[in-house]
């Protein structure tokens, strides 16, 4: 696909002025392919090849790839260039072990800081998740809804350090979600667990919200481990 057609290029204009916007679009396109598993882990991200395919010059592509590396979605391999990051299941399990208390804390803080507007937003999110379970919903949509749900709770928790720490894991773990959400029974369980978190938040019960959030992350970790044949104590 060409990105050039969607960017206004001024004839004879300053190429640098277009570069930022082209780099943003190249970044979005490559990121989406990685998250949708269109690019498998280990796929080479060749700047010249991608520039040819996207029909743009190399510098915005190089900038996009650097950004993916910075965010952990790609890695630089000496003598080979960039490739889509490989995530070992053992590393994923480790991340979930760290996420468990952090998301528990986020829910605890959010339970006491939730406003009426936040309650309405949470209810709307749960309606969307319930609806997603009934249709032929792609895994990437479930992944989006999950990231939005946990991100929202982290926002309501209003602790910037915590929010940033939780967000730093998302790029890595969200790539694992297509496999986690591809199993409809697992998806149903996750939505059920989100309901338990939401109920505790709306009740303003900090202890219950923390417990429900920790339990959810722990169960997701166990389901992922089971799916990949890993021990899961
Ligand atoms: Zn979740």
Q: What is the pLDDT of residue 99?
A: 93
Around Cβ 15, how many Cβ atoms within 10 Å? 13
Token couple for 113:
């800081």
Residue 161 belongs to what H/E stretch? helix 160-174
Ligand 1 centroid – CA 58 distance (Å): 38
Do 20 and 51 belong to one domain?
yes
Do 58 and 119 belong to one domain?
no
Tens digits of per-residue pLDDT, 151-162? 999 999 999 999
Do 52 and 96 belong to one domain?
no
Confidence check: pLDDT of 1 > 70 = no
In a domain, 198, yes or no: yes
Do 151 and 169 belong to one domain?
yes
In a domain, 190, yes or no: yes
Ligand 1 centroid – CA 183 distance (Å): 14
Ligand 1 centroid – CA 14 distance (Å): 45
More confident residue, 137 or 11: 137
Nearest to 85 by CA among 136, 144, 34, 155: 34
Do 208 and 157 belong to one domain?
yes
Token couple for 111:
């339970």
Ligand 1 centroid – CA 19 distance (Å): 37
Ligand 1 centroid – CA 194 distance (Å): 6
CA atoms within 13 A on the CB side of 86: 8
Ligand 1 centroid – CA 8 distance (Å): 39
In a domain, 192, yes or no: yes
> Which of the listed residues 56, 84, 112 is the one where a domain comes to its end?
84
Q: From its phi and psi, is residue 42 left (phi > 0), alpha (psi between -120 and 50) or beta? A: left
Do 95 and 198 belong to one domain?
yes
Ligand 1 centroid – CA 161 distance (Å): 20
Mean pLDDT of the chain: 85
Do 78 and 99 belong to one domain?
no
**Average pLDDT of the residues in 194-223:** 97
> Which of the listed residues 34, 62, 84 is the one where a domain comes to its end?
84
Do 168 and 133 belong to one domain?
yes
Range of the domain at 223: 89-227
Do 76 and 108 belong to one domain?
no
Ligand 1 centroid – CA 150 distance (Å): 6
Nearest to 172 by CA among 86, 108, 111: 86
- CATH number, domain with residue 55: 1.10.10.10
In a domain, 232, yes or no: no
Tens digits of per-residue pLDDT, 24-39? 999 999 988 887 767 8
Q: What is the pLDDT of residue 179?
A: 59
- CATH number, domain with residue 173: 1.20.120.530
Nearest to 100 by CA among 224, 215, 178, 177: 215
Ligand 1 centroid – CA 100 distance (Å): 11
Q: What is the pLDDT of residue 18?
A: 58
Measure the CA–CA gap between 48 and 214, rounded to whole angstroms: 45
Measure the CA–CA gap between 137 and 82, rounded to whole angstroms: 32
> What is the maximum alpha-carbon separation in the chain?
62
Domain count, the chain: 2
Ligand 1 centroid – CA 48 distance (Å): 38
Taking CA atoms, 58 is separated from 51, 65, 179, 181, in Å, by: 5, 10, 33, 35
Do 102 and 211 belong to one domain?
yes
Ligand 1 centroid – CA 213 distance (Å): 8
Measure the CA–CA gap between 120 and 143, rounded to whole angstroms: 21
CB of 206 closer than 8 Å to CB of 106: no
Measure the CA–CA gap between 215 and 221, rounded to whole angstroms: 10
**Average pLDDT of the residues in 9-21:** 51
Entry field: residues in the chain: 233
> Which of the listed residues 84, 104, 131 is the one where a domain comes to its end?
84
With cut-offs at 50, 70 and 90, classify the pLDDT of residue 10: very low
Do 49 and 118 belong to one domain?
no
Do 99 and 170 belong to one domain?
yes
Ligand 1 centroid – CA 107 distance (Å): 12
């Amino acid at each position: 696909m060409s990105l050039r057609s969607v960017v206004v290029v001024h004839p004879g204009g300053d190429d640098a002025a277009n570069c930022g916007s082209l780099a943003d679009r190249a970044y979005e396109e490559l990121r989406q392919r990685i998250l949708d598993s269109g690019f498998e882990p280990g796929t080479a991200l060749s700047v010249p090849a991608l520039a040819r395919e996207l029909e743009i010059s190399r510098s915005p592509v190089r900038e996009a790839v650097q950004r993916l590396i910075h965010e952990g979605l790609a890695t630089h391999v000496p003598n080979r260039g960039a490739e889509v990051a490989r995530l070992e299941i053992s590393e994923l399990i480790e991340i979930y072990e760290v996420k468990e208390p952090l998301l528990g804390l986020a829910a605890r803080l959010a339970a006491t800081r939730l406003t009426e507007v936040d309650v309405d937003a949470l209810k709307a999110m749960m309606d969307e998740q319930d609806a997603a379970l009934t249709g032929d919903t792609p895994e990437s949509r479930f992944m989006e809804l999950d990231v939005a749900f946990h991100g929202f709770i982290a926002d309501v928790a209003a602790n910037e350090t915590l929010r940033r720490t939780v967000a730093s894991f998302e790029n890595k773990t969200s790539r694992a979600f297509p496999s986690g959400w591809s199993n409809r029974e697992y998806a149903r369980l996750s939505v059920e667990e989100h309901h338990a978190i939401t109920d505790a938040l709306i009740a303003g019960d900090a202890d219950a919200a923390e417990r429900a959030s920790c339990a959810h992350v722990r169960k997701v970790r166990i389901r992922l481990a089971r799916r990949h044949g890993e021990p899961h104590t």
